[in-house]
Chain A
Amino acid sequence: MADLSRVTLRYRQAQAWVERVQPGAIAVRFGVYVTGLLAFTIAAAPVIGWRAAAFGLLLPVMPALRPTKAWSTVLIAISVVVWALAGEQHYALAFLLGALLYIHHVVTAQAVTMRTDTYVTPEVLAGLGRRTGVVLLAAAAASVLAGLLPGLFGRTSAIAYGLAGLAAVVGLCLTLAWLLHRKL
């Protein structure tokens, strides 16, 4: 009897949730799931083949359901590590993965701001799309330049190339730290 009442309660809670849910907020959650699925499938397909799609179906569920937690960070980190394990791939595919992971990242950040019953004005989604588009265009241009760099320096200058990369990473970390902690 108690189990039945608990089931009834759950059913009513689910019914109330369905009644309150808003399409804009659900679209954002769906975006988290879809980008996570595609990103992981692209990253893991060279390593585990068709099973990547199966894992990909499950892995983004938690980021979509609980965007406030660290699940998205875990998914992105796994995708990057699996991609690294797979060996060097085509740059276009790498850019596609980077773009998908970035979209997953920004859509998750947007999902954190709202509950599923939040009424989202179209300007919010339009602004998100505009900003992401600008970033991806700039990243595409930068990716082309980055892809040309090895050709410019040649394979023989691997040490110099590594040192330059290390300097770039350190510089990047310092820049981010400065941006974060500068006095306004």
Chain B
Amino acid sequence: MTGPVRGVDSAADDFVARRRATMPAAEADRGWQPTRALVRAAVVIGLASALGVLLGRVDLVIIALPFIIGTALALRSRPKAVPTVSLALSSDVGAEGGELLAGLRVTNRDELPLSTVVLRAGFSPWITLNEGHGTYAATVGGKAGTSVTISGRTLRWGSHAVGPLRADAFACDNLFHCETASAPGQRLRTYPISDPFDADEAMPRASGLGGTHRSRRPGEGGELAGVRPYQPGDRLRRIDWRVSLRARGLYVNHTLSDRDADVVLLLDLGTDAGESGGVDGQPSVLDTTVRATAAIAEHYLHRGDRVSCVEFGPRVRRLRAGTGRRHYLSVLEWLLGVRVADGITREARLLRTGGLPTNALIVMFTPLLDENSVSALAGLARSGRFLVAVDTLPAHVRPVHDSPWTPASERLWRLERENAVGELREHGVPVVAWSGTGSLDQVLRDVTRMSGAAKAVI
């Protein structure tokens, strides 16, 4: 079967690894070395002067004169100290699509100016620079420093590499060369931009003592449940005077308590599909998963719920449940470490490790490309969890390999996938495609209704 290609989205890490592999160790102790240009100047001077003397030709000496004077002037003094380099980011945190400002600084500790300093900094492929591509040539005066300010834009969420920075210094009209020590690289943490998300529906089961969701229990809340006769202990401010006058007796407003709820965001990271186009392009499965997770986490955390995150992958990475704005930042940080990893994860492992509370609403982001994911969803539904599956497979994803059989096999594969989605719905797992605001309302309504229904225990 031809399906969307499995892939590992770790281009940035690969880039950094390649960069580090090709980077030589610090070579600050090598000092200044003559370049090929010095050899060339010596050859030309020797050749032209020797021919001029041997043939008695002044014109040959005149040809050599610029080389003689230029080399002599350049060699008047030689640099001793090795310049130093440093790399600084204006901020190590940003959002995808945001601006990046980096300063590459080289400091010349010698009195002799440097004719050329070439600064080479590695940048993640997800960073576009406004000028250049990470290699910059500048001059530095004696006992001075030069800064090259680089501006750019981050195209995608993730922890992007900036650096390491390496500099090649040239002095004496580029007749001497020195490889300076490299400055260590830094990481630019780029948070995903949350797709706008809002859900008006109640949670299937609220469990905490405070929050904004109306529960099914009576209590001090804002949601009116009805009017009942006054009982000793009722607060006077709850008396409904209009009803009391009509009924000739004291009646009070009866409200439902407001509670918070547990939300577990389960990220299926077994498979990626589609090529990420960054913040301006088409999303991949991983992009959709991460951005949707950020959006839903922001929504529920804003409402006072407790949100935890779990990877459905070989690592089963978890983020503890928490609430509030600080926890939202923790979620964003946790999402930076999300990677697609091959390997089989059984739902039993998820349940065994206790990361999925029984009363929690579980939102699983999955492209439904793997039978393992489908069986995990079915297993979680069988265990009585309140479960919503968010389909993260973008509509634009097509098989990479093209052959005469590709369209037919793709159609077959899509039919099989629709069949799997239908079976999941029969098992009580609502599956909904991610589309931002209100995309979960319908399924949350279904889940809430089902949670209140009687269950047959066999």
Which A residues fall within an 8 A CB radius of B? 20, 22, 24-25, 68, 70, 72-73, 76-77, 80-81, 83-84, 88-91, 93-95, 97-99, 101-102, 105-106, 108-110, 112-115, 117-121, 123-124, 127-128, 131-132, 134-136, 138-139, 142-143, 146-147, 149-150, 158, 161-162, 165-166, 168-169, 172-173, 175-176, 179-180, 184
Contact = CB atoms under 8 A, between A and B. Distances in A.
B49 A169 contact: yes
Interface of B: 34-53, 55-73, 75, 78, 80, 115-116, 118, 131-133, 135-139, 148, 168, 170, 173-175
A114 B118 contact: yes
Nearest to B55: A84
Contacts of A83: 59-60, 63
A81 B55 CA distance: 12
Nearest to A20: B133
Contact of B72 (A127, A158, A175): A175
B70 A102 contact: yes
A162 B80 CA distance: 39
19 contacts: A24-B137, A73-B40, A76-B40, A80-B48, A81-B47, A81-B51, A91-B58, A98-B64, A99-B66, A101-B63, A101-B67, A118-B132, A120-B136, A127-B115, A135-B70, A150-B58, A162-B56, A172-B49, A180-B38
Contacts of A109: 35, 37, 40, 173-175
Given A76-B44, A131-B173, A158 B56 contact: yes
B53 to A, nearest CB: 4
Contacts of B137: 24-25, 113-114, 118-121, 124
B124 to A, nearest CB: 16
B169 to A, nearest CB: 9
A70 B36 contact: yes
Given A106-B174, A124-B137, A136-B66, A88 B59 contact: yes
Given A80-B51, A108-B37, A95 B174 contact: no
Contacts of B138: 121, 123-124
Main secondary structure of the interface of B (DSSP, over half): helix
A171 B116 CA distance: 30
Nearest to B59: A94
Given A112-B37, A113-B174, A142 B65 contact: yes
B63 A121 contact: no
B66 A98 contact: yes
Contacts of A143: 62, 65
B123 to A, nearest CB: 12
B135 A94 contact: no
A176 B175 CA distance: 13
A119 B131 contact: yes
B167 to A, nearest CB: 11
Given A68-B36, A98-B66, A110-B174, A77 B136 contact: no
A127 B139 CA distance: 8
B57 A84 contact: yes
Given A124-B139, A169-B49, A135 B174 contact: no
A175 to B, nearest CB: 7
A80 B133 contact: no
Given A80-B47, A83-B60, A139 B69 contact: yes
A101 B68 CA distance: 12
Contacts of B38: 180
Contacts of B115: 124, 127-128, 131
A123 B139 contact: yes
A173 B46 contact: yes
Contacts of A172: 45, 49, 68
Given A139-B66, A139-B70, A142-B69, 18 more contacts: A72-B40, A76-B40, A77-B44, A80-B44, A80-B60, A98-B62, A105-B40, A105-B41, A105-B67, A109-B37, A109-B174, A114-B137, A121-B136, A123-B139, A124-B115, A135-B70, A150-B58, A180-B34
Contact of A165 (B35, B59, B61): B61
Contacts of A124: 115-116, 137-139
A97 B58 contact: no
A183 to B, nearest CB: 10
B139 A176 contact: no
Contacts of B61: 146, 165
A117 B135 contact: yes
A170 B137 CA distance: 37
Contacts of A169: 46, 49-50, 53
A43 B100 CA distance: 52
B85 to A, nearest CB: 16
Contact of A115 (B48, B135, B139): B135
